[in-house]
Every structure is written in C-alpha cells, then in structure tokens.
Amino acid sequence: MATNAPSSEPAARPASLPREIGLIGSVTIVIGTIIGSGIFLVPHNVALRVGSIQSLYWVWIVGGMLALAGSLSLAELGAALPEAGGIYVYLREAYGKLAAFLFGWASLLVIDAGSAATLAVAFGIYSGAFAPLTAVAQKLIAVAVIAVLTFINILGVKKGTAVQAIFTIAKLAGIVIIAGCAIFIRKASLLAGTHPLPTPHTSVSSFGVALVGVLWAYQGWHQLSYNAGEIKNPSRTLPIGFLLGTLIVIGAYLGANAAYLRVMSLGALAEHQRVAATTMDLLIGPRGAVFVSALILCSIFGALNGTLLTSSRVYYAMARDRVFFESVSRIHPKFQTPTGALLTLGVWSSLLALSGSFEQLYTYVVFTMWVFSGAAIAAVIVLRRQRPDLPRPYRVPAYPFLPLAFIVIAAAIVINTVISKPLESLAGLGIVLSGIPVYRAWNRRATRRTNEGE
C-alpha cells in the first residue's frame, strides 16, 4: 500500500461520534484550551524583550492575529471535512496517511500527552498554595485530576463541554476581577522597577523572541478542529466558534496586560515573574496571591479538560484508519464517547506525569508542532488545487494571504529553532521520524488482516 497517496475512504470505519457540541461549547473549547497559566506568567517574559509598552501590546496583538489566521484557515478545512481528528484528517487528505500518522504519533507520544501531563503536574504544584504537599502528594494529585477528567469525558461529550464552559467562565471572570481591581482600587504610584530595562529598545530580533513566548500563551487555538466530527452544523459553527473564541482570548489577554501595567511599570513587570500574583498582592494584600492561585487552578483544570476532550479524537481517527489499536476506535454503547481513545490518553499522560521524564522530550518535540501546524494550514492551499470540487461551505477570508502569513511565521519559528537549538531540533525530529517503522508495521498488519477477510 502506498504511504503517500491521500485516502479519504479508510476501510471498515466504525460508527461515527454523535454531533452534540453547539456554538457555546465550541467557543468555550477554543477559550478554555488556549487560556492556561500563560497569561499569568508570560507578560514578564515579554517585558524582558521589549523596550516600550506600545511594543508589548503589539506583540500580544500580532500573536493573537496569527492564532486567528490559523484558526480561520482550519475552519475552512473543518467545514469541508467535518471529521473527528482535525489536523490529523487534513494532513491525511492533503499529503497522505504517513504524514497524518507522524502527527498523531508525535501528539500521543509527547505533544498533547505531554501537554496534559504538564498541566496536571502544574495543578499539583499550585494545589500546594492551599495545603502543604510533598512531591509525592503533588504527583498523586496530578494523576487524580487526569483520572477525574477522563472519567467525566467518558460519561458524555455534553458533560465534558459543560465542565469546559464552567471553568472557562470562571477563568474569564477571574481576569475581569483582576482588571476591575486595577481600575477601581487606587494606588498612589506605580510599582517601579529597580533596574534598567533588559531590552531598552525593541528590535526585530527581540520582538521575534517575545512573540515566541506569546505564541506559547496562545497555544491551543487549533484544538477545536479535533472535535469537528461532533459539532452541530460544522459549516457554520466551526468558523464562528474559532472567530469568537480567539477574539475573546485576545481581548482577555490585552485586558490582563492593561491591568498589570496599571499597577506596575514596564520595568517592574520585567522583574516579577508571577505578575498576576504581584498585581493582586499590591491591590488587596496577601489575599490576592491566594485568589490568583485559585484562578490558576481553575484555568489549568479547564485547559486540561479541553486537552483530554479534544486530543483524544486524534487517536480515535488513527484507529479508524487502522494505523493504531482497533480498541482505541471503540465508542461506548451508552455514552457515545471514544472511550478507548480517552483511556489511552489518560493513562499515558498519567504515566508521563508520574515519571517526570516527559519534560525534556516535550522540549525536544514541541517545536515540531509548528511544522505540523504550518503543513495543516498549507493544506488549505493544497486541497484547493488538488480537490477544487470539494464542497467548501466556508472559505477563509483574504485567501491566500491569511494562510500564507501563518505559514511564513511558522516556517520562521521552525528555522530559528533549528539554527538556535540544532541538537534539540534533531532529537525532536528523530522522535517524530521514529514513527515511520511503526506506521509501516501497522500498515502491514492492516493489509494482512484485510487479505484474511477480517
């Protein structure tokens, strides 16, 4: 069987997942999977790299516009190919099963499973703000939160999206409270920095470095695409969900930065890593740090739920294509959820969280997400040429400039990473390419079973 020929009709697919995610669920998935702990920490990293408040805001705006360009491009693909798996499906249709499998392999091995493990470990660490916890207790909490959310998502996609909605509203409300405190609680003067700005003047290079950090805070903009097979009226809901969700995140991020800068100077922002906690401590005292810790826990909980709810659909799609264990494609007869895929992601993420060994692997592989993201957005152009007759109920605006802008930035990030971290980049590519023999083995197995009449 050819490994590079696109295939839109995998053999013997099981029943598909029910379409139960509406517009509100779609919007909260976008917001909830993007907003994690980044907005409470990353502004410090940005302040280290920019020389003015105007530059700081522009970094966050450009990062948001890039996420919006990517999400609106994915919306065209999702509306045309409304299947579970998102980016996996688009890579398969544009470049063939091998490219799609390598994405799924990297996602399961480290990228999304590692992201879930990172969030869970962070949840355990921040839980220590409310009670003294040993390192072992923190890891047990990490595993427990993965287990609880996996179980909730097995009980039904409506329950998973309900949790997503509740914690998305909670984290947005928390950001609004921080902004409100900054506006209405008067301070005699700004907290000033004690040292000169590390970067007195913003250059193209420093802006680019700051942008990389901001893009990490926007990470997750693509994950709604994984649930395209469960979204009601995807041709309408997907584009609106991506648009509204991303715009709300951009507004929340700009509002949070405005709140920080109303209390601290740019120099102080560069000196205090936990900017949200520092801001609230200045405004309302020690209770502020407790409030921010609770807010971060809510934020992490929602982001972890979103990761489990969305990423599991990639492995479900792989199993449907017979390049992964058949059990992973099974749908629960009562709850109509991909139980096998959810358990696979939950168990593997828990093992990564317990071992702690995922952290270096995650550093190696995370940049390859930009390779896959760029290739997925390029699939908009590829499929318009390869399959011009494919029904496209939604088309990305400003085509081809919007997808091309994303592709150029993604390529620049990948090239810069390869140049600045060649050994780590090679290690990451090696991990991804290790999936090739695995794919060929699964392919031979599927072919043999087909020939045997199974």
Count of other CB atoms within 10 angstroms of residue 173: 12
- Per-10-residue mean pLDDT for the chain, 454 residues long? 42 69 95 90 89 93 94 95 94 95 92 89 87 89 96 96 95 93 78 77 84 87 94 94 96 95 90 87 87 91 95 94 90 94 95 76 74 95 95 93 93 85 84 92 77 60
How high is the pLDDT of residue 5?
A: 43
Residues 401, 417: Cα–Cα separation, whole Å: 24
CATH class label, 23-357: mainly alpha
Q: What is the DSSP string of 263-301?
A: HB-HHHHHH-SSHHHHHHHHHHTHHHHHHHHHHHHHHHH
Which tokens in the block code for residue 354? 């317990």
AA identity, residue 328:
V
Q: 274 Cβ partners below 8 Å, 6+ apart? A: 40, 41, 44, 292
Residue 30's H or E segment, with its range, is helix 23-34
Residues 48, 196: Cα–Cα separation, whole Å: 11
Q: Rounded to two decimals, what is the model's pTM?
A: 0.90
Residues 371, 369: Cα–Cα separation, whole Å: 5
How high is the pLDDT of residue 340?
A: 95
How high is the pLDDT of residue 10?
A: 42
Closest listed residue to residue 172, CA positions, set 267, 244, 96: 244
Find out whether 276 and 256 touch, Cβ atoms under 8 Å. yes
Q: Count Cα atoms within 13 angstroms, Cβ side, for 17.
A: 34
Residues 411, 403: Cα–Cα separation, whole Å: 12
How high is the pLDDT of residue 143?
A: 95
Residues 448, 428: Cα–Cα separation, whole Å: 32
Q: Where are the domains of the chain?
A: 23-357
How high is the pLDDT of residue 110?
A: 83
